[in-house]
Chains A and B, each alone.
Chain A
Amino acid sequence: MDFEKRGEILLQNIIFVILNLLFLVVLILFVTSRANSAHVLEEGYAKQIALLIDAANPPMLIKLNMEKARRVAEKNDIPFSKVVRIRGNVVTVRLDSGEGYSYSFFNNVDVGNPYPDGDFYIFPISAKE
């Protein structure tokens, strides 16, 4: 009788601990998914690229690691080669079917066609004619 009672308490505690761990895992997954969401990454990369171009002195090649962007883009069926677009002085990064995120830069340089190289993106910077 006494042994049965002890076994019950142990089982209850194990279930309690497992449920708590499950709760913790769900929370961690939620925060991680928010941190790596397409919109957050689009904004971060667009601003990072714009600031890199602002700091650039032509002629220059900028190589940026965009591994996270590649993973998210591929998950959303967006080819990695179409993730970054530069029109005039505006950088647009698109990682899902939406419009993407755009940010402008003030450095009046010629940014050639940016192209992917593995997990990296290459930005050729040259002086404007």
Chain B
Amino acid sequence: MGEKILSVYWFAILVIVAGAIFVMAGIFYGSPYDVREIEAHLLSNRVADCLVRQGNLQKEIFDGKSFLLNEQNFLDLCRLNFSSPDFEREQYFVRVEVFGQQEPERKIFELEYGNKNLEADCKIEKEYSRTASCERRVLFGLDKDGKLYKIKILSVVGKIKKNVR
């Protein structure tokens, strides 16, 4: 009699364990892979390579007097394509800020490109994964006269519905 009761309990335990594993596997494999952090990192790399090569500001970007980068030529010069056919709006945002050596606090150049609404997500804590993924990068570059410039890059990737459940 006791063995029969034990086997009923054991059967119940098996059902609970199986159910839990089915649910966990469903949740785990049903959630998309979130690759936005890597994507934002690669976007920062791409923009950094476009601005500075081997420590020197690119000639196409800075002619020695002024910055040639603007909203019209940014995608072409940096070899980028921000179209996202699966989404209604652009899913990327990039901001480039350049500061001089003499007055490190004074911004001498700024460029914003993409969906500016995504930038607000960068102020929200990272634990809330239903927001855009942001990466901030600081680098330095020399012009042809040896002057040093500090460059700040912010790259943001949205694509929430493809990366977060």
21 inter-chain pairs at a CB distance below 8 angstroms, sorted by A residue, are: A20-B14, A23-B18, A35-B29, A37-B29, A43-B32, A43-B33, A47-B33, A47-B35, A51-B35, A54-B39, A54-B43, A89-B81, A89-B83, A90-B85, A102-B86, A104-B84, A106-B39, A106-B81, A106-B82, A107-B46, A107-B80
Residues in A neighbouring B92, C-beta threshold 8 A: 106
Task: Give chain A's interface residues, CB within 8 Å of chain B.
Answer: 12, 16, 20, 23, 27, 30-31, 34-35, 37, 40, 43-44, 47, 51, 54-55, 88-90, 102-109, 127-128
A33: nearest chain-B partner, CB-CB: B25
Q: Is the CB of A104 within 8 A of B46?
A: no
B interface residues (Cβ-Cβ under 8 A, vs A):
3, 7, 14, 17-18, 21-22, 25-26, 29, 32-33, 35, 38-39, 42-43, 45-46, 75, 79-86, 91-92, 162
Supply 20 further A-B pairs (C-beta < 8 A) apart from A30-B21, A30-B22, A104-B91. A12-B3, A30-B25, A31-B21, A34-B29, A35-B29, A40-B29, A44-B33, A51-B35, A54-B39, A88-B85, A104-B83, A104-B84, A104-B86, A105-B81, A106-B39, A106-B46, A106-B80, A106-B92, A107-B80, A127-B79
